[in-house]
Structure formats: C-alpha cells, structure tokens
Amino acid sequence: MSVHLPDDVAARLKNSADLIPTIAQDYKSGEVLMLAYMNADSLAITIDTGHATYWSRSRNELWEKGATSGHTQKVISISLDCDGDALLLQVEQVGAACHTGEISCFHNPISLSAETGEKK
C-alpha cells in the first residue's frame, strides 16, 4: 500500500523520520489502552484507512491492530502533542487492547508510599 503522509501533518511533526510514541485511548471511557509506536508510513495509513496501524519495533514491520487477533481499533480522532513528537489516538476498541488479553496494557499497578513517595 502506497500512502503519503499529508504535507500539513508532516510539517507539524518534530521529525517525520523518527518513531512517534502513540497512546491509544478509549474514546468513550477515556481509559488509556496501550502505548505503541508509529512512523510516517503507519500514520499515513491510519489517516487514510481509519484503522490503527503501528510500527512494530520487535518485528521491524507495519502492523494493523487486530489484523490477526480481531481486536481492532477504529480511529475516531488523532491529536498531536505540543512538541510534535507524540500522538494520541482516540479509538473504538473491539476486544482486548493488550496482547495478554486484558482490556488495557496498563493493568500492573505500582503502589506508592503515602509519606515518602517510594515504590512498594
């Protein structure tokens, strides 16, 4: 698939050659679902298709969320942070967002000490 990142979007990115940390958030509940990375190609595909497509750092390839699991992300909106180096996708999540089967990848809380702020 040959898709070009729109020039106005590329111009707002800090560096369109870098990987872009991307938070996926449930558009209804506001729950943070996952952190992944995009590059210019995956962002362009996501904008074009409306389906979250990321860059896999471990496999070194593009991957559409849910292509094999069926746990898809329909993108409702995309926001770029103030520095142009991070993205927020508000998505309609179908199934679990985490590869472990959990709804969110952030299901491992770390307790803080109320007095010292030390991790327990």
Q: Residue 119: pLDDT above 70? A: no
Distance (Å, whole) CA 14 – CA 30: 26
pTM of the model: 0.88
Count CB-CB contacts under 10 A for residue 11.
10
Residues 6+ apart with CB under 8 A from 28: 92
Cα–Cα nearest to 47, from 14, 87, 81 = 87
Residue with tokens 């007095």: 115
The tens digit of pLDDT for each residue in 19-59 reads 999 999 999 999 999 999 999 999 999 999 999 999 999 99
- Of 24, 15, 25, 21, the closest CA to residue 38 belongs to 21
102 in Cβ contact with 96 (< 8 Å): yes
Tokens for 34, please give them: 């996952």
Domains (range + CATH), the chain: 5-91 (3.10.20.810)
